[in-house]
Chain A
Amino acid sequence: MATTGVTQPVRRSSTGVLLESVLKWREISILLVAVLLIAYFEAENRDFLLTSASLENLSQFIAPAAIISFGEIMLMIGGEIDLSAGMIFAFAPFVMHFAVVAGMPAPVGLLLALLASGLIGVVNGVVTLFLRVPSFVTTLGTMFLLNGLTLTLSAGTPVDVPGSPGFQAFFGHWGYSEICWAIVIGLMMHVLLRNTRWGLHTVASGGNPHGAAETGINVRRLKIGNFILSAVLSGFVGILEGCRISSVDPQAGGSQIMFLAVASGVIGGTSLAGGSGTIIGGLIGATVLGVLNDGFTLIGINAFTFNIILGAAILIAMVFNIHMTRLSRLGGAR
């Protein structure tokens, strides 16, 4: 069975080490990019990392995109996407605000906001999976719909964040609160993806939806669950950000944060076509984007340049992702 050239690369990686290292190397190489960027910006500007203020600033750029990317990565692995994430981000804090105005304590308002976010996830999921609208289109619709709803409910004006100072500090106002949330949620999501049936089935349903259904996996339930997960995370980040800047702004979040999250996932190695991806990759991807944005700001390169770099980074990461596996296989055949 192992005499032909075709089985040779298989034989070489008999411990699974080769493939593991390729997959790990993919993340490590992105991490290396982040480290090099940090070194570069540190050399250009002494204050980049080693002062608490700029480190805090950096962490606050990374965390929101990272947390939203965790939900997007689960969806993308299953072959779906949520374009409405940034609008759920803007919507959720207003649910909390109105709940508190109606006389409820802030923690209850928070729970209601997450519940409302989850319901939007249910709508995204049900329309996509039962009415068979591609998720790109479903969530494009709910994106505009929610944006309009948030602007209408808020009359376009920002409001104050409800809750005690302690509550606000815990949910985003303290400088490192957001990055702590990102790391804790990231670890939980990593375990969900790598060590539970839910995660395994998500990968299976993205790689071979028909086959997954044939083994009895309830693909619809799984994907609707991931839409809910993504929506709840997005709503939660909206509240964290509201607490951080002490203001709930109907214009906050939006498509910008959603695309940053998707880009974080893609740069971190998640395939948009489904079937593969990692949570850690999303965290590293968000770090690269955060370092780029922060670094350019500090050395005085403007936001337009940042977008050029971001676009190029996404393209390079995508080309790399698609051809890396193929190249490693060809290399092994010799």
Chain B
Amino acid sequence: MTADVTQVNSEIIRAENIVMKFGALTALRGVSLDLKRGEILGILGDNGAGKSTLMKIITGFQAPTEGQLFIDGQAVQLRSVDHARSLGIECVYQDLALANGLSIFHNMFLNREIVYPGPFRLLNNRAMRRRTQELLDEIGVHVPSVDLPVERLSGGQRQAIAVARAVNSNARVLLLDEPLAAMGAREAGLIIDLILRLKAKGSLSIIMIMHNYAQTLEIADRIMLMQRGAVTYENHAAATSVPELMEIVRREYRSMRNPASA
């Protein structure tokens, strides 16, 4: 299935046989994954399938019990989130990590603020405002004013700001945790457009954790189905369909309830 015959060297992330144990609980039982430059990988699965754990390992939040991670073909042990970030891996969490009372441009530069030279390192709001406007224009996100506090934005706009912030930090790999969760169709459409525009720029690879099969097949180049800590299915999005994915999941449920007949 993973017949990367054409461009082996275009691979940006590879994970081999990742095992993650929390005491007696095994959250991941030997998961392998690869992501190519400019590719969008959608990871599907139920709650507890191990998607978030896998995500935390790739962002350096947790170290795996077993297994090896490769970035640009080099074996790496991620020491921390900052370490992963320094290698160009950025994550947009579901809570978006936005400070509600602060303006869009302050959020965009949160903890990476532009400051004036000098001993007091005062905030250069003018530069941050201008850069934010440029960046949002560049990726096609429209807000009335970058001075607005993010609490006054809609869910979709907030998600867009969080994604834009991750992109702004020179991310090469973007991890999106349920980017379309709790969003109406129109809002979801905005984010899907944004993700596709980012992909079109070519420099960014994206891993998305998703729930909705149809949306995932629409955006992703490749999909991975995770069940009970293992990858049970993997294919190019164009080569599979929602009914096929549903059938695989149904089969799994049946075998869980009635192991003898499986």
Contacts and interface: CB of A to CB of B under 8 A. Distances in A.
A271 B120 CA distance: 27
Interface in A173-215: 191, 195-197, 200-201, 203-204, 207-208, 210-212, 214-215
Contacts of A16: 103, 145, 147-148
B244 interface: no
B142 A276 contact: no
A22 to B, nearest CB: 11
B145 A14 contact: yes
B50 to A, nearest CB: 21
A203 B144 CA distance: 23
A9 interface: yes
Contacts of B121: 196-197
B142 A1 contact: yes
B111 interface: yes
Contacts of B97: 208, 210-212, 214-215
B117 to A, nearest CB: 14
A13 to B, nearest CB: 7
Contacts of B102: 200, 203-204, 207
Given A196-B122, A210-B95, A13 B101 contact: no
A7 B144 CA distance: 9
A279 to B, nearest CB: 16
Contacts of B123: 195-197, 200
A19 B144 contact: no
B149 interface: yes
A217 B98 CA distance: 12
A191 B120 CA distance: 10
Interface residues of B, number: 34
Contacts of A276: 101
Contacts of B85: 216
A203 B123 CA distance: 14
B99 A211 contact: yes
A215 B162 CA distance: 11
Interface string A1-34: 1100011011101111001100000000000000
Given A7-B144, A329-B152, 13 more contacts: A10-B152, A10-B153, A16-B147, A19-B147, A191-B120, A197-B115, A201-B111, A208-B100, A210-B95, A211-B95, A211-B99, A212-B99, A276-B101
> Which 9 A-B pairs have CB atoms at the shortest separation, nearest pair first?
A16-B147, A211-B97, A204-B99, A214-B97, A14-B144, A207-B99, A215-B111, A275-B101, A195-B122
25 contacts: A2-B144, A7-B144, A10-B153, A13-B144, A13-B148, A14-B144, A19-B148, A195-B122, A196-B121, A196-B123, A197-B123, A200-B110, A200-B113, A203-B99, A203-B102, A207-B102, A208-B97, A208-B98, A208-B99, A210-B95, A211-B99, A214-B95, A216-B82, A217-B111, A275-B100
Interface of A: 1-2, 6-7, 9-11, 13-16, 19-20, 191, 195-197, 200-201, 203-204, 207-208, 210-212, 214-217, 275-276, 329
